[in-house]
Chains A and B, each alone.
Chain A
Amino acid sequence: MSINHVCKLMLILGCICGISSVTFAEHFPLLVRAENITVPPSTGPITHIVVKNQKASSYNCRIRVKYAQDWTISPVEFEVSLKPQETRKIPISVDKAIDLKSNLYPVEITVISGDKQKVFKQNVFVATTPVFTPKIDGNLNDWEPAVPISFETKGRKTIIRTGWNKKYFNVAVEVEEDKLSGYKKNSDKPIDAVQFAIAPRKTKTPTTTDQKSQRFEFLIVDSPGFMSSDKCFQLMRPGDNIADALKERALEPLQIKDAKVVVKRKKNITVYECSIPLLLIAKLKPMTGRDYLMSFLVHDPDGTGIRDLGEVSGLWEFQRNKLAWSAWKGVKWQEKPPFDSKLEWGFCTTKY
């Protein structure tokens, strides 16, 4: 048998396996996701695997979880019995691990049901907010203590960093893009911006417009012009009518005066750096080890469109929710609404 024949045979076998796998996947009743880790893994935190039974009948399976080779976790394997449509979070204790500078941690989750099995592969981030005090000046040299989250959208890079101290919650976002379109008062023109939402742990995004918001939501923008300073707007507070999220409101009345914002261009990168008073989000009860929920949207209307952290964090398609993010005058949504704005995040002390 020639090498060509072997290759052809392998290709055919590969296709058969592939089709079989796709067919199984199409009918696979379980959705699986590994949550973000909220403090550095070396400190031995707890994280979760979330599973959802999509069937109208109950579903039993065995799940095997594997993080990096040298990690010790418990449990490694467990049985799950889910009622119809049930979603369940299974705690996974990380007992031994090493923090990686790349902040990309591969997870392999194998679901075994009868004689079938399916392997889900996902990269999780450590989404954590260490204590430090950066100077808000558009220069990120003093953000070294942060744990950056990097992802690509249509080949363009975004890097997100968060930090906190007793007085401020700090955010820095680097956006690779060709040009920066800034905010102008009373203009409807689409602009570049960074939108982020923060919510206390255990809160959920409403799915109907008659409910109240449980999140804090902010928008930071460049504001070009002599004597003009870059701006931070507060789009939502807990207790606000969630229906307001659908209204394209004017931004001017929503500006927060005591936030510090600097937006700077450096070659093909836009740097957004923002500091908001911790008192504004006191409901989170910030303290070391405290979990909360957070996500980011980067608006790049003349480039990649919206870059959604939820999308690269393994959220499920049905977790797109129009009510998870507030509209504003000048926003350019895409065909599908963004993913939920509640990813797992945490306050920590340091990455060292």
Chain B
Amino acid sequence: MFAAISLFVLLSLPHPAIPDTPQKSFDAIAREADAARQADHLSNALKLYSDAVRLRPSWADGWWWLGSILYDQDRFSEAQAPFKRFIALSPKPAPAYAFLALCEYETQDYAQALHHFELWSNARSPGTGALLDVAGFHWALLLTRAGRFNEAFLLLAAKAKQRGATPVLTEAMGLASLRMAFLPEDYPPERRESVWLAGMAAVYNAQSEFRLSDAYAERLFSHYGQEPDVHYFHGILLRFQGSEDSAAEEFQKELQISPRHAPALTEWAASRLETGHNSEALTLARRALEIDPQSARAHYILGRALLETGSFHESAQELETAKRLAPESSRIRFALSNVYKRLGRKQDSEREQAAFLALKGKGNVLAPLDDKLMAPRATERPQ
């Protein structure tokens, strides 16, 4: 499904028209190039497009087709330069960012790939559904590799809901679920079974097929219950199913195996907060922050716990820290709006409420990718 995008996808992308030009030789070559491409004579088309852009380097269309054909032939290192030229020349290059990122992924330039996926996302003009599928999937893989497991998980879960347990999606979800900062092609082979089992449990969980999810989770625990992150993952699954007490037990088990597991402490705190055990949540969130002071989620949970226990000034401080660390999180803005209201800071509260509404469903990759990319900016007026 995600292995490649065929040329017909590329053909359907918007591109600028061939500019009117007095250079006959250029026109002739461009026409021949288009004809060769349309006749599927791709080697010839490649040569002709190369000749054409050499004659006229400002021909964005030529760079686009050059990059597209090379991409379609899996010649990723060669495809990058044409896509970069297209991006530089085109007023609306958004899909090209995704193709460039995909090429950079294949040539293992992961930092640049992540950067270009983010530019693609911010440009909010994603291209075809097939591109959304492929690019969104690879973006999630890179988020996992970068240790941004929650964001990756949310992107993948949205796809799992649509597509079910395909093998590649299952593997990607398994890596994110077990907090393994690897790509599918470079994680330790001996962990394959645990990744598969976690992935199956996660996919079925995303589809609310909890019996099937539990069946795979049980298989995971029976062989890998003593490995780090497995009980944490189980806790997350149980929280998703609304079993907060059982989830809390799983987070405790994780902490017996991995005593400095800040996410387990944070989620345990969140779970206790959810069930009204606010002072316990305070203690746990503070322990999480001792281990990981840069965790936006731990600051957020602590801020909410402080809000619940009436410590409004401290709550505001924690939530402001959380906002600084994760400026696009709508949840943090919502909580901030509440605490400002309690503090009588009406103007601040209204500002945060407006930010919450603007970010809700659109914030960074925390929103399902399709929604985010399709949605207009908060400042844009729909046509």
A binds B: no
Please report A residues at the B interface, Cβ cutoff 8 Å.
none
Please report B residues at the A interface, Cβ cutoff 8 Å.
none
